[in-house]
Amino acid sequence: MADLLRKPLGVSGKVHDITPESAGWGYVGFGLYRLKAGESVAEVTGSREVILVLVEGLAHIEAAGQDWGVMGARMDVFERTPPHCLYLPNDSDWRATASSDCTLAVCSAPGKSGHVARRLGPEGITLTPRGTGANTRYINNIAMEALDVADSLLVTEVFTPAGNWSSYPSHRHDEDDFPRMTYLEESYYHRLNPAQGFGVQRVYTEDGSLDETMAVKNHDVVLVPKGHHPCGAPYGYEMYYLNVMAGPRRNWRFQNDPDHDWIYQRDTAAV
């Protein structure tokens, strides 16, 4: 069985510390801090670029030789308001001091010294619907391809209403064959509302060599090294996830599962 479902290491402090080495791949890293007001954390980026995402709560950030002040606004991720984020290039350092209880995500990938430190959001991030019917979900694009703010990282948030599906129809981006497809590793950091809920995520290849279906709970992370990766929110429970993607090039090109592409074709024709 593939080790794709990563449970939090605790309920406070650094509860996720996923590196390329621990994930068994080459690009994506994901860390998560759950801090109490007054607690501080500090890291250096080394050879990697980083996007800090204030998932919820407030924190005073000092990074890359600058004081960025208190960042954050939403106190509960399910407010769905745009996040406050900070891009940092490789060879930077940063410190965060929680001004309130907060959840801070650290998204990382190889850096190439091609971009400078800058705020990302809340300005310019607009909650955008995608899909139709029970496939409707809502996107906060933090650092996707259209925004030239990073060397490798692609980062986005998705809110899936109760009873709906996301990352669906099933699609994959596991071949380095641009422009048909790009190789992108991907991590999903999941939250559920109410918090005791669960969601479902399947990661599978068309040849069946990988086929794992997981019940995901609050603060779980799912790794997607290859294959298709749809997820669903049961009735009564809203799902949030923070996606981090990276690969040899910063483009998002994917192919739908041929068995389920008819859904995309039907919905596209109906628009």
Model confidence band, residue 267 (pLDDT cutoffs 50, 70, 90): confident
pLDDT in tens, 178-234: 999 999 999 999 999 999 999 999 999 999 999 999 999 999 999 999 999 999 999
pLDDT in tens, 233-247: 999 999 999 999 999
pLDDT in tens, 84-97: 999 999 999 999 99
CB 186 within 8 A of CB 252: no
Hey, which CATH number is domain 8-270, 2.60.120.10, 1.10.443.10, 1.10.3720.10, 2.40.160.20? 2.60.120.10
Q: What is the pLDDT of residue 1?
A: 47
**Residue that has been written with the tokens 């069946």 in this structure:** 208
Chain mean position to CA 178 = 22
Q: Has residue 142 got a pLDDT over 70?
A: yes
Round to whole Å and give the CA distance between 183 and 186: 10
- Please state, rounded to an integer, the average pLDDT across all residues of the chain: 97
Q: Measuring CA to CA, which residue among 184, 198, 117, 125 is closest to residue 158?
A: 125
Q: What is the pTM of this model?
A: 0.97
